[in-house]
Amino acid sequence: MTLLSQTGSRAPQTGRDFLAIETVELIKTYGSGQNQVRAVDGVNLKVERGHIYALLGPNGAGKTTTISILTTLIPPSGGQGRVAGFDVVTQADEVRQLIGVTFQETVMDKALSGRDALIVHGRLYHMPKNEIKEQVEELVKLVELEEAIDRPVKTYSGGMKRRLELARGLMTGPEVLFLDEPTLGLDPHNRDRIWTYIQKLRAEQGLTILLTTHYMDEAEQLADRVGIIDAGRIVAEGTPQELISSMGADVVTVEGSGATERFVAALKQREFVAWANIYQPEEGEAEPTTLGGTQVQIGLNDQAGRSLRPIIELAEQSGYLVADIAIKRPSLNDVFLKLTGRRLRD
Ligand code: ATP
């Protein structure tokens, strides 16, 4: 069996013109009354087959909850979710047959060897013995665990555990793979390896992958489309390039003190300014400036070279004392900052 050999036989009879993942006004609430949390608050997703889609957002944004609903682990409180054309509530069995999932924490018995952990997973899904064997061979090569596969999982490094977890998610030859924070806490070398496997799976197998991340570079590097999620809602959606282009030409960061709000209001009146925000540090987060001042982010409509001087002049006129000014190409982090007034913290 190859990674995707089951795909054709498992295809629903209704044809192949459906999205790999679709949600309509998906809602999940936890608790009740005053303690109620709307973890997912009307999420609409459309993921094309063969795409890598990144749900990018900070801790607590609702990413894990969205994945848990789509992988049928928990029911939604409202709205609909479909995976490969099947409803995640009324056709949960069909959905489970078609998906693979890896969560942030490994769910495998760490006393087992890597190989046995994969075999147990295959048996759980009633895969025939010879298919399990073939699949293990193939996946061990993919995630480069040949040396370690017969050692107990508890002797694995964090990166090795993640790679094994990825192999486990692929054991049943899924059509759609869900990866919850696949590189959380990994060093750059191990992140790169996981990124390579993910790209390979999409390129060679045409797998649809929905991953969650709070690393903006992960979303930028890997994803065909990105949904930026905050407080249970998708606040922006598009290709990384579309999202970044929506920011204007360049982003200027000004640090200083004084009449910050007056300065920002004045900036917003100027035609070379696409948007301007005061950066609000979150509770517990270090102040953005060492001087204890404020930080203002400005998206420019124009090329920056011409616009720095007017920004400094405007600051002076508004009574804002500039301590530092920097200019850079925008990133997905700036998109998040513009939309929420907060930073995505790595
Ligand atoms: P993280 O990466 O930190 O897990 P996330 O974006 O995946 O963040 P979720 O885990 O989906 O976010 O959590 C969304 C919100 O729902 C948070 O406020 C969280 O505290 C809350 N929440 C999640 N699971 C539960 C639960 N079982 N009971 C109550 N509240 C929950």
E strand residue ranges, 113-185: 176-180
Backbone φ and ψ for 147, nearest 5 degrees, come out as: -70, -35
The label of the residue with tokens 């063969």 reads 50
User: CA 187 to CA 159: how far, in whole Å?
Assistant: 8
29, 30, 228, 307 from 33: Cα distances, Å: 11, 10, 28, 50
40, 226, 288 from 61: Cα distances, Å: 8, 14, 22
Q: Which residues contact 243 (CB under 8 A, 6 or more apart)?
A: 226, 228, 236, 237, 332, 335
Average pLDDT, 10 consecutive residues per value, the chain (346 residues): 42 61 97 92 96 92 95 96 96 95 82 94 93 95 94 93 93 95 89 91 92 91 94 94 84 91 94 84 55 82 72 94 89 83 66
Instruction: Estimate to the nearest angstrom the gap between the alpha carbon of 265 and the chain centroid.
Output: 33
User: CA 141 to CA 126: how far, in whole Å?
Assistant: 23
Q: Whose CA is nearest to atom 26 of ligand 1?
A: 30
172, 238, 293, 324 from 17: Cα distances, Å: 23, 21, 54, 53
pLDDT, residue 7, reads 41
CB atoms under 10 Å from CB of 152, counted, come to 15
- Point out which residues pair with 22 in neighbouring strands: 46, 82
pLDDT, residue 345, reads 60
213 lines ligand 1 (CB under 6 A): no
Q: Whose CA is nearest to atom 21 of ligand 1?
A: 39
Q: Which three-class secondary structure state does DSSP give residue 257?
A: strand
Q: Whose CA is nearest to atom 3 of ligand 1?
A: 59
36 lines ligand 1 (CB under 6 A): no
Long-range contact pairs involving 303-311 (C-beta distance under 8 Å, separation at least 24): 303/249, 303/250, 304/249, 304/250, 304/252, 306/272, 307/252, 307/272, 308/252, 310/270, 310/272, 311/252, 311/254, 311/267
Q: Which three-class secondary structure state does DSSP give residue 212?
A: strand
62 lines ligand 1 (CB under 6 A): yes
- Tokens, residue 175: 């059509």
User: CA 322 to CA 255: how far, in whole Å?
Assistant: 6
Helix (H) or strand (E) holding 83, with range, is strand 78-83
- Tokens, residue 70: 């789509």
User: CA 86 to CA 176: how far, in whole Å?
Assistant: 12
Distance between Cα 62 and ligand 1 center (Å): 6
28 lines ligand 1 (CB under 6 A): no
What DSSP designation does 219 have?
A: H
User: CA 9 to CA 207: how far, in whole Å?
Assistant: 16
The label of the residue with tokens 């930080």 reads 295
User: CA 55 to CA 77: how far, in whole Å?
Assistant: 20
> What is the identity of the amino acid at 238?
G
pLDDT, residue 335, reads 86
pLDDT, residue 153, reads 94
